[in-house]
Each structure stands twice: as C-alpha cells, then as structure tokens.
Structure 1
Amino acid sequence: MEKNQLNTLIGRKVKEVRKRKGLTLEQASGMTGVSKPMLGQIERGISNPTVSTLWKIASGLDEAFSTFIEEPKPDIIHIRAEELQELDGGHGGFVVQPVFPKERDRSFEVFYIKLKRGGHYHSHAHQDGVEESLFISEGEVEVMIQERVYTLKKGDAFRFQANVDHSYKNGGEEQAVMTLIIHYQKERFL
C-alpha cells in the first residue's frame, strides 16, 4: 500500500472511530493528547501520523492500534469446496480442510475434518478458555475427553472446553465428516 493510500485509510478509520464514539474533534483531542488541528489533518488524510501519534490515539480512544491500519474486509466471503486445501493430520486417516482460519479480529476458526474408517487424531490441551464445537455431517465419531467417550452420529452437535487432552476416532464403518469450530477466549485487544 502506498503512503498516500495508508494516510487515507488511517484518516478514515480515525474519523469512523471518533464518530462511532460520538466525539467531537475537541473531545478526541482531550482524550488522546493529540491536537485538534493534527487530528483534523489525520482524518483528512493529509498528515502522515507517526507510530507514537497513532499509539496516543489508540490508547486515548480505547482502541487496538491495528484498528487504524487494517484494510477493510469484504462483507461476503465465498469459498468453493474445490478451493479448500486438504492437510494431512499426520495421524491415521485424519484430514483437515481449513475453511476460515483464525484472524486477529475474530475469536474463532473453522475446519472441515474427514476421518477415514478407523482414523483417529489426538489433540493436546489448548489454553484455558478455548472451546471446541463439532457438527457431524457423515458417519460416526467417538470423542474422548479425560477417559470419557462420547459417540456422535450424523446430525449430532457437541461442544466442550478444550483445555484438556482430547481425541477423535472414527468408530463407524464409513468415512466420518465433521465441521470443527474452535472458539478462543476473546481478549480485550486481539
């Protein structure tokens, strides 16, 4: 991104945040320690703010620094099945297709999982606050959490705290397919 484009992006974002919070330039200036004229120049994209200035604005307006430099995301994302990459899980018959990988501003990621007949996968504990949700679309999946086994069949949904070791096993006679959503604990600034 060119410097002028970046200045325009930053200016637009600063103005959006200020307006969303219902602040005048003068109020924003008081909260951030950045002069009213400088904020106005930044918002119009005619000033190239330093990192220090952006940090002041971010801190004063209680926003993540990256809010002001992120390019806008599309309103719609369409991923075709044939575009998904298959990653071998490295364990017997476990295949992963990342659908929506974790992004900085989202607290979840989505995968399609295929477990071949007899396939299995062991996952070590995630950090506290991580939750997994499973939706079984084909076959049968056994989920083991701390020595307890839950048998899930087509159409079943299952959610659990994933801060303990857990595993998945295809306990049926055919391939099992599921959607896995991993929810991460939302932090103040992702």
Structure 2
Amino acid sequence: MDSVNEAPKIGPVIQAERKKRHLTLDRLAALSGVSRSMLSQIERSEANPTFAVLWSLTQALGIDFSQLLAGGTSQQRKPDSIDLVTLALTPEIRSPDGAWRLRILSPPMLAGQVEWYEVEIAPGCMLQSAPHAPGTFEHLTAYSEGLLVETEHGSQKLATGETARYRADVAHEIRNTGRQTARALMVVLHELKA
C-alpha cells in the first residue's frame, strides 16, 4: 500500500506528548474534555477521533495541530502575543447527575502546580472532593450567594465576593445552600517540590 495514502499515526504521538508532560490519562481527559476511555482507544489506535476531539487534545497538550498530523511534535506550539481559548474549546468536567460543572481555565502546562476553575453548583447540591496531594490548598471566591465550604477543620459560609482559603489535602466539599445556581472561581495551589 502507498504510504502517502495512509492515515497519520496519531495515537502514539498523543501518548508520547502526554507522557512527556507527566500527565495521566485522567488528567489529560480533564484538561481536554475528552473521556478517558476515548483517550485510551486513541492512544492504542483503536479509535478514529473527530477533528473536534483532536483539536481539544492539541490545545490541552499545547502542540500544533499540523505537527500532530505530520506524525511528530518536535517542539511545543510557540505562544502568540495573545492566546485565545474559545468557549467551545474550554475543557469542562461535569458531574453525571448535573449537580456541578467545572470549567478548566488554567493552561495545561501548569497542571499539578496551580490550576483555576470556574465552578457552578446547582441549588441544594454539592461538589465533594477526596483529599488531594499533601500540601494542596484551595482558594474559593464566591461570585454568588449560598456557598458553604466544609472540611474536617470546620465550615465557612461565603457571601458574594468573599474568598475562603483551606487545606485541600483532607476530604472537603463545597455546598450550594441557595435556591439558584451558585458560581465561584476556584484556584488550586499544589505544593511545589524543590
């Protein structure tokens, strides 16, 4: 078969770029909005991803789409003076029951260092988190009324504009005690290894 007509081997490139950035499948799934199972199939060349899926992956990994299709990514994408991420390409994590949504606003290269999210929690619902890595802190700034942060160290209600800072290396949750969707900005600071 003429190799010119063969589809590019995208899976191994995605896997190599993911590993180069020390990202797990779960982390890349969160950053790109592509499911873990789909990522696994793509990396094993068992799935034929759509353009939209590939675009999301290149944005999350910070690589050029053209280099991906060429079968290699020797360099990371050069930053433009202004890097725009459209709403359609902003990765999201949603709870299966629709209780909450996290929009990932931070760039992929800061994963595991500092991350920021737009948080939405439905009325009467909560976002529960298992303990993160030791030394992790969260900073939650309320954009609306009704938010309550609870950890094993206590609980704190937030009024609009207030910020709660708390250890996130223990089990913690953010509740919406109000009657409307609650919104906030969450910044996660991971302990930096020397």
Shorter-chain TM-score: what band?
0.5 to 0.7
Which stretch has the larger CA shift, 123-132 or 101-110? 101-110
CA distance in 2, matches of 1:179, 1:73: 25
- Where in structure 2 are the equivalents of 1:42-121 lying within 5 Å? 72-81=78-87, 83-90=89-96, 93-103=99-109, 107-121=113-127
Q: What one-letter code is carried by the residue in structure 2 that aligns with 1:162? A: A
Task: Give the equivalent residue in structure 2 for 1:166.
Answer: 172
Partner of residue 128 from structure 1, selected from 123, 129, 134:
134
Partner of residue 152 from structure 1, selected from 158, 161, 181:
158
Q: CA deviation at 1:153?
A: 1.7
- 1:64-90 C-alpha deviation (Å, 9 max, x unpaired): xxxxx6554445333344543443123
Note if contact 1:92-1:121 (Cα within 8 Å) is conserved in structure 2. Answer: no
Note if contact 1:114-1:175 (Cα within 8 Å) is conserved in structure 2. Answer: yes
Q: What one-letter code is carried by the residue in structure 2 that aligns with 1:90? A: P
Task: Give the equivalent residue in structure 1 for 2:63.
Answer: none
Q: CA deviation at 1:117?
A: 0.6
CA distance in 2, matches of 1:106, 1:92: 26
Note if contact 1:92-1:120 (Cα within 8 Å) is conserved in structure 2. Answer: no
Q: CA deviation at 1:141?
A: 0.7
Q: CA deviation at 1:133?
A: 0.8
Q: What one-letter code is carried by the residue in structure 1 that aligns with 2:109? A: E
CA distance in 1, matches of 2:88, 2:110: 26
Note if contact 1:130-1:185 (Cα within 8 Å) is conserved in structure 2. Answer: yes
CA distance in 2, matches of 1:162, 1:106: 13
TM-score, normalised with respect to structure 1: 0.55
Task: Give the equivalent residue in structure 1 for 2:62.
Answer: none
CA distance in 2, matches of 1:150, 1:104: 28
Q: CA deviation at 1:123?
A: 0.4
Q: 1:86 to 1:187 in 2, by over 3 A?
A: same
CA distance in 2, matches of 1:104, 1:90: 26
TM-score, normalised with respect to structure 2: 0.54
Segments of structure 2 that go 5 or more residues without pairing to the other structure are: 1-74
CA distance in 2, matches of 1:167, 1:155: 19
Q: 1:94 to 1:187 in 2, by over 3 A?
A: same
Q: CA deviation at 1:92?
A: 5.7
Instruction: Give the SS at the match of 1:103.
Output: helix
Task: Give the equivalent residue in structure 1 for 2:11.
Answer: none
Note if contact 1:91-1:120 (Cα within 8 Å) is conserved in structure 2. Answer: no
Radius of gyration: which is bigger?
1
Task: Give the equivalent residue in structure 2 for 1:184.
Answer: 190
